[in-house]
Amino acid sequence: MSPDTSSLLTHPDRNLALELVRATEAAAIRAVPYIGRGDKLAADGAAVDAMRAFLGTVNFDGVVVIGEGEKDEAPMLYNGERVGNGRGPSCDIAVDPIDGTSLTAAGRQNALSMIAVADRGTMLDASSVFYMDKIVTGPEGIGIVDIRNPIGDNIRALAKAKGKDVGDMTIAILDRPRHAQLIDDVRAAGAGTRLMLDGDVAGGINAVRYGTRIDMCVGVGGSPEGIVTACAVKALGGFIQGVLAPKDDVERQRGIDAGLKMDHVYEADELVESDNTFFVATGVTDGGLVAGVRRLGPIIRTESVVLRSKSGTIRRISADHLAAKWL
């Protein structure tokens, strides 16, 4: 009897993640000439073009749920665009050719090229509300931490669950004026802060990964980044909650009209319903998650991470590319 392969035609399989790495590697490599050059739009444009070209060769039928923006403003990898060669599993896909365009332009750390994938129709489309308040921890936070609680209570509860002193806790927060009070509250609780210039997806992942110095990632960041982070968190067995944070009444109403819930705590399974999620990222510049692209004589070296929730695996991929092929 031949094996039943029907599920492979409808659900993303393990080979897909390794195919997607080619797209993030390409985007990261193409962004390198713009590192530290002060032109974030040029860096993003080069990465978008490279990612889109490679995605077109992948065996899947993807719909971009989270992309570069609306079609009129983003001619490539826009929300709703179909990607892949149309054969294979039907998927939702979230893309960010460079998470941290400002970091790339300034030559700072923690810029990534990344893709998240889930079964078709399972990613929350929160594109009508740009910001989301999030809290992310490792598995110790499940049933212990709640975004509705004061940050000090959450820090103390998580510290107890992890068997740590509060003074040894480190909380990652985007360094933004809107977080001034949150930062003060974290420090008043006795914990330390890790202020991020950008890239709260990497901050969230590092809060979940075992063995990092980050215990929790909190604060208001992009809603798309929240969905992408949820794909990674589910693969790592961690904890995430999010509450949409519309910037005004117009955006709030736009979210309601799109079917989103305001003042609602979105749990991980509401952000991404699928239990078969992938997260793939390649470093553009060096960071705590992966190393950035390096030119080593005739070789271009990339480092990537591949997470899959169904198998609970974390893979690191170091690849050497002949530089002559990229000229």
CA distances to 34, 98, 175, 197, 233 from 208, rounded to whole Å, are: 31, 21, 20, 19, 7
Question: Taking Cα atoms as reference points, which of 228, 174, 202, 20 lies closest to residue 111?
Answer: 202
Does 119 count as an annotated binding residue? no
Q: How far apart are CA 171 and CA 59, in angstroms?
A: 40
Does 99 count as an annotated binding residue? yes
Does 222 count as an annotated binding residue? yes
Q: What is the CB neighbour count within 10 angstroms for residue 87?
A: 10
Hey, which residues does 96 pair with through a beta bridge? 114
Would you state the structure tokens that stand for residue 276, as one six-digit string?
């078969």
CB 193 within 8 A of CB 174: no
Count of helix runs (H) and strand runs (E) in the chain: 9, 14
Q: How far apart are CA 7 and CA 21, in angstroms?
A: 22
Does 100 count as an annotated binding residue? yes
Q: What is the CB neighbour count within 10 angstroms for residue 318?
A: 10
Question: Taking Cα atoms as reference points, which of 107, 6, 104 lies closest to residue 47?
Answer: 104
Does 198 count as an annotated binding residue? yes
What are φ and ψ of residue 60, in 5° steps?
Answer: -165, 165
Q: How far apart are CA 318 and CA 144, in angstroms?
A: 36
Does 238 count as an annotated binding residue? no
The DSSP element (H or E) to which 187 belongs, if any, is helix 180-188
Identity of residue 183: I
Binding residues for substrate: 99-101, 131, 176-178, 198-200, 222
Binding residues: 44, 68, 96, 99-101, 131, 176-178, 198-200, 222, 225
Binding residues for Mn(2+): 44, 68, 96, 99, 225
